[in-house]
Structures are given as C-alpha cells and as structure tokens.
C-alpha cells in the first residue's frame, strides 16, 4: 500500500513543484522583458532629448523620467561613457562613478539583465547618438516582490490540490489494497491452519477473479490432503488388521500345540502346515506393501526394453487359465493388432495379472472373461471384461485404493490382500499410462489399461 501510495503521490507532488517553478520563471522572464523594454525606451528618450549634450532640455527630460519612475515603481540611473552617474531618480548615486556589470556590458554595446537575491531586477542598455556611437548607458532597477504574491496564492492552491489528490489516492489505494490483501490474508490464515494439521479448513471463495481461482485451488489441495490423510489412516488400520489376522491364527495354533499332549504326529503336522500357510500369507502382504512403497517413492525403476504386448498378455492369460478352468470360466484373448512397445516386462506382466486374476476371482462359476488387445495412433489398449458381480458407481473411485475390496465377504475365499489393483495402478502410472474401470452392479466390469506407444511396431490382424 505504501509503495502504491508513493507511486501515486510522487508524480502529483513533482507536477506541483514543477508548475510552481515554471510559473516563477515565467513571471521573472516577463518582468525582465518589461524592464529591458523600459530601458530601451528611456535610452531612446535620452538620445532624443540630447540629455548628455544639451543642458537646456535636461529639466524637461528629468521631469518625464521622474514621472515614469513613479508610475512604474522602478529606479532609473543615467551614466556617461565613463560610468559616471549623471542622474539617479532616487538622488543617491548622482555624481558617483559605479562599476557595475550591467553598466560595463551596456557601454560595450550589449544589453544586460540581472536578478539579485531573487528580489531586485537590473536591466541596462546603451545610449547612442545620431552617429550610432555609444555615449552613455541607462540602468533600470526594480523590485519584483510583487510578482510573488500571485505565485504564492497559486502555490497555496496547488498545495490544497495536492492534499486533496493525496487523500483521494490514499482512499482509492486503501480500498483496492483491501480488496487484494483481505483474500490473501484469509488464504494465509487457512494455509497456516492447514500446516498445523487442520485439513478440514476451507477458504471462502467469491467471484471468478484470480484470487477466487487461487482460493479454489487451495480448497482442492486441502481436500486432497484431507483425503490422503484419511487414506493413510485407513491404510495403517488395514495393514494392522491384515497382519493381525494371521498373527492371531498363529498364536491360537501355537498355543494349541503347546496344550496338546500325547497326540498323533499328524495333528502336529496339520497345525504346523496351518502356521506355515499364515506365514506365507503375511509374507505375501509384506511383499506387496514393500512393492507399493517402492512404487510410491519411485525407487522401483523401470527396466525398459522392447516388449511384444501380444506375447506378454498371452502369457498372463495362460497363467490364469488353470484357475479359470477350476471354476468353469471361459477365458479368451482377442488380438486385434500385433504390437511391440518399450516397457518393463516384469512389472507390466504383474500389473495385468492382477487385473485378469481379479476378473476370474470375482466372476461366478461358468462365467466369461475376455481380454482384448487393440491400439490407435498414440496408445495401446488392453481391456479385461468379466461377467462378475460388478462394481457400483460409488465404489468405482475406490477400487484402486489399498486394501479396498468390492466384495468384503469373499476376503478369505479369494485370498487377496486388497493391494493388487493399487500395485497395478502405480505400475501403469510409472509407464505414463492410465487405467480405468467401467462397470455396473451384477452386470460385470471392464478394466481398460492404456499405455503410450513408444517406438511401436504394429500390424493389423
């Protein structure tokens, strides 16, 4: 606000000062011109009356010069060619020799003007005879204090004008600054509260200007941070739950072994097999968690190489085929193109396996799972369609979250950890691709993975 005030006021103040100085210079220049003109007129009059050579006309000339001196309030001095003052309207310097710059200049044939102490103006000119010879000089002296009265009045008006302008500019800048700073101040307060952990804080957004857009962006950021915080809390809770379940089972099984006495070796074997199974389950969960952590931190670097997507998807289908066969599910692979792209074959294979395996697990017996491979000018598309239980619209936005399961009653039956699709999502993003789901409840689902075509070779079948 202070900067804007200085920028607004300084030009006005500079204008006022410049105007005052310009007026003073103009008035002084006008007065200098007037005195010079009077000096020239007096010089002509003196030469006409032959004052310096004819004593008979001197009395009449002196009367005329006295009258001019009184009327115009200036002092007149006449000098001969030796700087001797022949006559002074103030009768002070008459009979004295004065060596003044103005007199010397006039006797040299050059008119001169001088302002002394900003108040007294001197103007001189030479007196010439009929032969144009310099025979003397005229010096006119006048006070110019009278011209400063209107200047002072104008300066006073300028001061009032500047004060009014400063007040108006200050009010305008204050209003404008408030309009700019108040939203920023509110945003700073909101961000400060967010930094302390109050992620439910939102900035009030009004209008459609840049500040409103910034406020809306901050609100979106806060919503995402709040969502991430909730996801983190749910993630910690889910991890605790997933790890607690096998630990509890192992605890019960181990206590049972310790309590049992004189039982067949087969019973011990069964219990140990169950404990081993729970250990495998924990290992599976921990490995998936470690994989997700590496993907989140971008520690899992892509080992890019030319990958024939047709062969990769075909191998995924072959691995899942025995599982589908047990449930009587028909699984088909429809290849519309032959395509090779630059990708990490191992990570991409795992990501696609998670999708196809989920399609088989969540499809009822004797259902159908179809995998389709297609491409366009910029992307390769791998879609997996099933005739399973489907996903509601509310749940579709959560399917790629960690530990999220659509059918929560089938956790043990499907044997999953709820991390497969999260790993798939992170892996596809690392390949600069996208994954989305299209589904309706009880009508099946379609997961579509799109990957950018890099150094691609395609052949339409």
Per-residue pLDDT, averaged over 155-165, amounts to 80
Same topology, domains 2-150 and 210-296? Answer is no
388 DSSP 8-state letter: S
Q: Using one digit for the tens of pLDDT, what is the confidence trace for 373-405? A: 999 888 999 999 999 888 888 787 778 776 666
Pairing, β 379-386 against β 445-452:
antiparallel
Q: Using one digit for the tens of pLDDT, what is the confidence trace for 250-287? A: 888 787 777 777 778 887 788 788 788 778 777 867 77
Sorting pLDDT into bands at 50, 70 and 90, what band is 449?
Answer: very high
| Residue appearing with tokens 């006409």 | 48
CA angle centred on 240, ends 235 and 242, rounded to 5°: 90
Residue 460, pLDDT > 50, answer no
Decide which of 1.20.1270.30, 1.10.287.130, 3.40.50.720, 3.40.50.150 is the CATH code for 210-296. 1.10.287.130
Name the class of domain 305-460. alpha beta
**Burial class of residue 125 (count of CB atoms within 10 Å of its CB; 0-12, 13-18, 19+):** buried
Residue ranges per domain, the chain? 2-150, 210-296, 305-460
Q: Whole-structure pTM over 0.85, yes or no?
A: no
Compute the distance between CA of residue 58 and CA of residue 52 in angstroms, rounded to an integer: 8
pLDDT at 456: 42
Q: Using one digit for the tens of pLDDT, what is the confidence trace for 88-108? A: 888 888 888 888 888 889 888
**Burial class of residue 321 (count of CB atoms within 10 Å of its CB; 0-12, 13-18, 19+):** middle
Residue 419, pLDDT > 90, answer no
pLDDT at 366: 92
Q: Supply the CATH classification number for the domain 2-150.
A: 3.30.450.20
Compute the distance between CA of residue 342 and CA of residue 456 in angstroms, rounded to an integer: 7
């Amino acid at each position: 606000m202070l900067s804007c005030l200085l920028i607004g006021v300084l030009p006005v103040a500079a204008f006022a000062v410049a105007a005052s100085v310009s007026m003073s210079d103009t008035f002084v220049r006008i007065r200098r011109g007037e005195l010079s003109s009077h000096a020239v007129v007096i010089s002509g009059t003196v030469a006409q009356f032959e004052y310096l050579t004819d004593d008979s006309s001197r009395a009449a000339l002196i009367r005329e010069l006295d009258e001019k001196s009184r009327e115009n309030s200036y002092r007149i001095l006449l000098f001969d060619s030796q700087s001797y003052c022949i006559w002074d309207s103030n009768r002070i310097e008459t009979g004295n020799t004065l060596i003044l710059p103005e007199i010397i200049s006039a006797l040299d044939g050059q008119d001169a003007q001088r302002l002394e102490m900003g108040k007294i103006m001197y103007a001189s000119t030479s007196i010439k005879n009929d032969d144009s010879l310099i025979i003397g000089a005229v010096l006119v002296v006048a006070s110019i204090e009278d011209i400063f009265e209107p200047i002072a009045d104008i300066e006073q008006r300028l001061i009032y004008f500047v004060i009014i302008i400063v007040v108006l500019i200050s009010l305008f800048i204050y209003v404008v600054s408030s309009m700019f700073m108040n939203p920023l101040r509110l945003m700073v307060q909101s961000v400060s509260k967010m930094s302390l952990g109050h992620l439910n804080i939102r900035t009030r957004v009004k209008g459609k200007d840049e500040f409103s857009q910034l406020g809306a962006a901050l609100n979106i950021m806060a919503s995402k941070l709040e969502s991430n915080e909730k996801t983190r809390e749910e993630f910690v809770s889910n991890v605790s739950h997933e790890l607690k379940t096998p630990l509890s089972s192992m605890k019960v099984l181990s206590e049972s072994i310790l309590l049992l006495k004189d039982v067949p070796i087969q019973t011990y074997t069964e219990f140990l097999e169950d404990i081993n199974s729970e250990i495998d389950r924990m290992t599976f969960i921990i490995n998936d968690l470690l994989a997700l952590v590496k993907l989140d931190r971008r520690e899992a670097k892509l080992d890019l190489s030319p990958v024939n997507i047709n062969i990769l998807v075909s191998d995924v289908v072959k691995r899942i085929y025995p599982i589908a066969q047990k449930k009587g599910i028909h699984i088909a692979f429809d290849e519309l193109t032959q395509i090779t792209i630059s990708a990490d074959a191992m990570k991409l294979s795992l990501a696609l396996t998670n999708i196809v395996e989920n399609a088989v697990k969540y499809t009822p017996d004797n259902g159908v799972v179809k995998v389709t491979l297609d491409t366009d000018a910029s992307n390769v598309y791998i879609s997996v369609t099933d005739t399973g239980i489907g996903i509601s619209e509310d749940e579709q936005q959560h399917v790629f979250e960690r530990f999220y399961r659509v059918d929560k009653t089938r956790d043990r039956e499907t044997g999953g950890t709820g991390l497969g699709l999260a790993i798939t999502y992170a892996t596809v993003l690392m390949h600069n691709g996208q994954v989305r789901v299209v589904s309706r409840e009880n009508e099946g689902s379609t997961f579509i993975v799109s990957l950018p075509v890099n150094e691609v070779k395609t052949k339409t079948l």
